[in-house]
Amino acid sequence: MNLTRIDYTSLGDSFDYGVMTKTTRIDDFNTGVMYVINAADGNCSIQSIPTTDTFGRPVGQGGSIRIATAAELFYISDEYFYKGVFPFRDVDCNVYTDFRQDLGNTTFDWLISSDGWTATEEGNAGMTNIPIGLSVVTTEIGKI
């Protein structure tokens, strides 16, 4: 499918300083197009996915981009640590945390289903240790 979606709250433009705007960003790696939708007024801006996109990796020198592989996307530093088991959407999850100063004082929490939780997918019964979620909190917009 090659799509990513990020829902976030951003500060308004300089004329509306302090106004929080709910925004949805959809990156379509099939076409190389990024859609940014303002939830308040429904406006949608369209542009090329930047080659510095968090979920993408540049291809060659022509400005093309592809979606990151799981190995590239879940890169964590050697400083990550196990935080414990926490519930998320009614699933007990092992949470691993990494604090990255090189990405603008950003904290990543990876949520992986804990032992005792299984999922069934067509052809794969009883899968365990399933990625459930990723929480990213940063103090500096634009660094990740």
pLDDT confidence of residue 14: 47
Could you tell me which residues are beta bridge partners of residue 33? 28, 48
Which SS3 state, helix, strand or coil, does residue 101 take? helix
Residue 40 and residue 13 in contact, taking contact as beta carbons nearer than 8 Å? no
d(CA 106, CA 135): 10
The string of pLDDT tens digits covering residues 86-130 is 998 888 999 999 887 776 788 889 898 888 777 766 666 667 777
The string of pLDDT tens digits covering residues 37-86 is 988 888 999 999 988 887 888 888 877 889 887 667 766 777 889 999 99
Question: Where residue 33 falls among pLDDT bands split at 50, 70, 90?
Answer: very high
Which of the residue ranges 16-20, 27-31, 87-91 would you say has the lowest mean pLDDT?
16-20
Q: Using alpha carbons, list the distances in angstroms from residue 48 to 27, 105, 115.
A: 9, 27, 41
Higher pLDDT, 36 or 21: 36
Per DSSP, the residues of 2-67 read -EEEEEEEEE--GGGTT-EEEEEEEEETTTTEEEEEETTT--EEEEEPPTT-TTEEEETTTTEEEE
pTM for the whole thing? 0.53
Higher pLDDT, 19 or 58: 58
Token pair of 33 as six digits: 């197009």
- Domain ranges (residues) in the chain: 3-68, 81-138
d(CA 114, CA 127): 11
pLDDT confidence of residue 135: 85
